[in-house]
Chains A and B, each alone.
Chain A
């Protein structure tokens, strides 16, 4: 299994809803990432988990809450989002160590906040 999967593919939610995005990989990677990407812009790093511990939080608002329950799963809990949070949310994973490692990206979850 050499891919990162994300669910759901699409999500529409109201500003009072609570939802979660899910990311999964079975490549044994121990670093996992959440990115936010607006249309025609490069991905923006949100969070980095290394060995299931949060190592980077790029000053993301608290309405986004990441969780890494085990080495294969990464969740992003959403609560009280704003319309400007509508974007493509990308998950990525990376093996730790070595100079040729690359981040493997999932297909993304396209989020629309109404």
Chain B
């Protein structure tokens, strides 16, 4: 069964601190893995996208890693800001029509 599991479910950190979010998946055949940021009531916005041959991808203060052998990914956020408060969703794609499998997301809250 194709599944995407994320941890932790929620996380609270202080402004300026770093954090790491985890994603494990069983989707096969794997096409690519993306991390999205979703603000409440808004559509998801893509942060990073990686194929199975890529180990790491950065986008500003966001760095995603992928281990295709263990089927694990992480998203590291550096020097967190209040605007980072959102749900971070791990999404794994099958190649056919770009069918997506969503994790439940990690709700990140950054406190001043």
The listed residue (A48, A88, A100, A102) touching B97 by CB distance below 8 A is A48
- CB distance A107 to B43 under 8 Å? yes
Decide yes or no: A103 and B41 within 8 Å by CB, A42-B89, A42-B105 being known contacts: no
Residues of B43-86 whose CB lies within 8 A of A: 43-46, 49, 51
Select one of B34, B100, B103, B105 contacting A45, CB under 8 A. B100
Count of interface residues, chain A, beta-carbon cutoff 8 Å: 27
Q: Interface residues of B, CB < 8 Å — how many?
A: 22
B97 lies within 8 A of A105 (CB): no
Write the A82-114 contact mask toward B (1 if CB under 8 angstroms, else 0): 000000101010100001111111111010000
Q: Is the CB of B97 within 8 A of A55?
A: yes
Instruction: Assess A43 versus B102: contact at CB under 8 Å? Given A99-B51, A100-B51, A102-B34.
Output: yes
Verify B97–A31 contact, CB threshold 8 A. Answer: yes
Q: Does B17 contact A (CB under 8 A)?
A: no
Which of A31, A99, A108 lies in contact with B41, CB distance below 8 A?
Answer: A108
Docked Cα-Cα span, A48 to B97, in Å, equals: 8
Inter-chain contact B51/A42, CB cutoff 8 Å: no
Question: For residue A92, which residues in chain B have a CB less than 8 angstroms away from its CB?
Answer: 43
> In the docked arrangement, what's the CA distance between A45 and B97, Å?
12
B42 is an interface residue with CB less than 8 A from chain A: yes
Q: With a CB–CB cut-off of 8 A, which chain A residues contact B29? A: none
Complex CA–CA separation, A56 to B49 (angstroms): 24
Which of B34, B49, B99, B100 has the most chain A CB atoms closer than 10 A to its own CB? B100
Q: Mark B27-49, 1 if CB is under 8 A from A, else 0.
A: 00001101010000111111001
Taking Cβ atoms with an 8 Å cutoff, the residues of B that contact A are: 31-32, 34, 36, 41-46, 49, 51, 89, 97-100, 102-105, 107
A interface residues with partner B (beta carbon < 8 Å): 4, 6, 31, 40-43, 45, 48, 50, 55-56, 88, 90, 92, 94, 99-108, 110
